Amino acid sequence: MKFYVPPQLKRLAIAFAVFIVLFLVLRKFLVPDSFGQYGHYRGDSLADNALPEIHYAGQQACLDCHQDIEDLKAKDVHARIHCETCHGPGQKHVLSGEASDILKPDSREFCGNCHGKNAAKKPGTIVQVQLSEHNTDKKCIECHNPHQPWEMKE
Residue 113 neighbours by CB distance under 10 Å:
11
Q: Using CA atoms, how far apart are residues 23 and 16, in angstroms rounded to an integer?
A: 10
The full DSSP string for 76-113 is: STTTTS-HHHHH---HHHHHH--GGGS-----HHHHHH
pLDDT at 152 > cutoff 60? no
Q: pLDDT class for 24, splitting at 50, 70, 90?
A: very high
Whether the model pTM is above 0.75:
no
pLDDT for 20: 98
pLDDT at 150 > cutoff 80? no
pLDDT for 21: 98
Q: Using CA atoms, how far apart are residues 154 and 136, in angstroms rounded to an integer?
A: 31
**Domain ranges within the chain, ordered by starting residue:** 7-50, 59-142
pLDDT at 154 > cutoff 50? no
Q: What is the pLDDT of residues 55-73, one digit of tens each?
A: 888 889 898 998 888 888 8
